[in-house]
Copies of this chain bind each other. A is one copy, B any other.
Amino acid sequence: MMTNQSEFVRPVPLDRVYRILNIGPTVIVSGKTENDFDAMAAAWNTALDLDPAKAVVILDKSHYTRKLIEESNYFMLSIPTRSIAPQTLFLGSVSKNDEPEKIDQSGIRFLKDVEGLPDDIDLIEGCAAWILFERIPEPHNEAAYDLFIGQAVGAWADERVFKDGRWMFEEVPQALQTIHYVAGGRFYAIGDAIDVE
């Protein structure tokens, strides 16, 4: 399924970012500096504002990714699909503090040759959408609650599953469903569409 995912990646208008996060997916949070990269899984996230689009993500002090975000002031929230549930769990279970080769070992890969994508943006293969945030520094929240706030500065989605500001799970293979973590290796995939008139 993920062969050639690159050709389906399209930019998302920032005022539609909240709709990506609204359904409450588990996300992969990543941070990078000139010489380093790390990614972790986070069920604890929410949209925070429509326009300019903002979001909240909770990042424990022990996480290696957090240090990179504090250094670079940017973080990416990527929305993993069912196709990479094992890799997502690995990213949430293993720390780069203990395992410097975490990213290689996780099995995640990055999309190549995405048309129009800036050179410094890396998109994790097998995600449904990717949102780049600039951190809004809030020292009290970060220290007291591990709560980070960001404003979206770029967003992309796989147009097979998110297009024109709408999720379209009912039209795609199960592999493209978002995943919602509970505990103990158990996720739930997103399910049926329900339209209330």
Residues of A participating in the B interface, judged by any CB pair closer than 8 Å? 18-19, 22-26, 43-49, 54, 56, 58, 82, 85-86, 89, 140-141, 145, 147, 149, 165-167, 169, 174, 177, 179-183, 185-197
Contacts and interface: CB of A to CB of B under 8 A. Distances in A.
B22 A180 contact: yes
A4 B42 CA distance: 36
Given A44-B47, A48-B58, A188-B193, 17 more contacts: A19-B182, A22-B26, A22-B182, A24-B24, A44-B46, A45-B46, A56-B56, A85-B194, A140-B140, A166-B186, A167-B188, A174-B192, A186-B193, A187-B193, A188-B190, A189-B193, A191-B191
A172 to B, nearest CB: 13
Nearest 5 A/B pairs, CB to CB: A24-B24, A191-B191, A23-B180, A46-B46, A189-B191
